[in-house]
Structure 1
Amino acid sequence: MRLPRRTLLAASALAATAPTAWAQGTDPRLAERGIGRPDAPVKVVEFFSLTCSHCAAFHRDTFPRVKKDLVETGAVRLIWRDFPLDQVALTAAAVARTLPADRYEGFISALLGSQDRWAFTRGDPFAELAKMAALAGMPKPQFDQVQADEALKRAILAERSIAEKEFSVQATPSFSFQGRRTVNQSGAMGFEKFAQLVQDVKPA
């Protein structure tokens, strides 16, 4: 899903005041989130938004086989990088990062698999997100604290700004396949194309 220019400009302005905790790794909530062996020969970074329907389609249609055939076999480490498209996605990303790290994958999977029930509800998406967070073990008072945590949100937006500059990310999902060389690719894709790009960058 491509970002509106207005959204990009607003995010850049907020990110300019981001704390240095992200870059220094001092806040555990900002630590890398991923699955697969740290020493896998290929690393794939996925830039995604929790309110992006294309990201949800990839997670539904392609991710299960990527996990089974490439991650669990040790061929790939998949790393998730937040690239929120809107305030709802930004809050969802903050909540996901505040949960214990071992609940991260399950929580984002639940969110991506139920966007119509929380992100695109006719009611209050933040209220629905709070319900999803409660199911993952985050009580409402903690959710309210995360929703009000502007420092964390600025740090997430700073990471998005880095992705725009270093990887030319302008749409979600986008992927960076990193091995003997780096190939950047935008858009949800089927397993065959994903696997071919992994093969293309795999060290000899």
Structure 2
Amino acid sequence: RMGSAQATIGIVEFSDYQCPYCRGFHDQIFPRLKKEYVDTGIAQFIHKDLPLKSIHPQALAAALAADCAGAQQRFWPMHEALYANNGRLAPELYPQLGRELGLDEAKFTACLGDASREHVIMRDVVEARGLGITGTPSFVIGKIQGDVLTVARLAKGAPSFKDFAQEIEKLRKTMDSDATPQTK
């Protein structure tokens, strides 16, 4: 998760590190979304993995690299590094990125080699399938209440910044009206 724990709007992305459309979202739309909604405390951005192994053979290994970097509190820097290297993902790249990010090399290598770590990624895949999501990038936008996200919109493909902004502003208005005391 990225953003304030007090944010009441959640943007969940189901993504594949080898997907060129996912990289396009992260290069072109995400920076503005982060600046205007995540950094300001309005929304949380939540990453979920959906490696499309049949067409992207390095997607699962890349997701594992991000997860293993996350075990050392470096998920987001690895996330960005993987998208920056989207066209050249390969087993020898992950340790190199780990070194560049200052990860404990022995721990990172052991984590990458731990087959049981795949269950973390597969939980996201099962969640995506339950929502009817089979392609990347896909997004779920909704209200956060405690640990629950109430879905307001499901978007398959990469919406424009304007689409995200409209949905977020619509949610903000409904939440403001819900909080307004009613008088008779």
The alignment's TM-score, normalised by the length of structure 1, stands at 0.73
Aligned to 1:194: 164
Asked whether 1:95 is paired with 2:68, we answer no
Which of residues 29, 46, 52 is equivalent to 1:79?
46
Q: Deviations over 1:8-67 (max 9, x none)?
A: xxxxxxxxxxxxxxxxxxxxxxxxxx1111221211111111111111100000111011
- Note the 1:22-171 alignment, pairs <5 A: 34-86=1-53, 87-100=57-70, 102-116=73-87, 118-119=88-89, 125-138=90-103, 141-165=106-130, 167-171=131-135
- How many equivalent pairs are there? 164
Q: Deviations over 1:126-170 (max 9, x none)?
A: 1122212221223554444223211111331132112211x2111
Asked whether 1:172 is paired with 2:139, we answer no
Identity, in percent, stands at 27
In structure 1, the residue corresponding to 2:5 is in which secondary structure?
Answer: coil
8 Å contact 2:140–2:155 — kept in the other structure?
A: yes
Q: Deviations over 1:63-110 (max 9, x none)?
A: 110111111111111111111122522222222122246421121111
RMSD, aligned α-carbons: 1.9
In structure 1, the residue corresponding to 2:129 is in which secondary structure?
Answer: helix
Cα separation, 1, equivalents of 2:13 and 2:26: 11
Larger radius of gyration: 2
Seen in structure 2, the aligned counterparts of structure 1 residues 108 and 128 have a Cα distance that, compared at 3 Å, is same
Higher RCO by CA contacts (8 Å cutoff, separation 6 or greater): 1
8 Å contact 2:37–2:43 — kept in the other structure?
A: yes
The amino acid across from 1:172 in the alignment is T
The amino acid across from 1:132 in the alignment is L
Structure 2: state its 5+ residue gaps: 144-149, 178-184
The alignment's TM-score, normalised by the length of structure 2, stands at 0.80
The amino acid across from 1:93 in the alignment is A
More divergent stretch after superposition (173-182 vs 37-46):
173-182
After superposing on structure 2, the runs of 4+ consecutive aligned residues of structure 1 that deviate more than 4 Å are: none
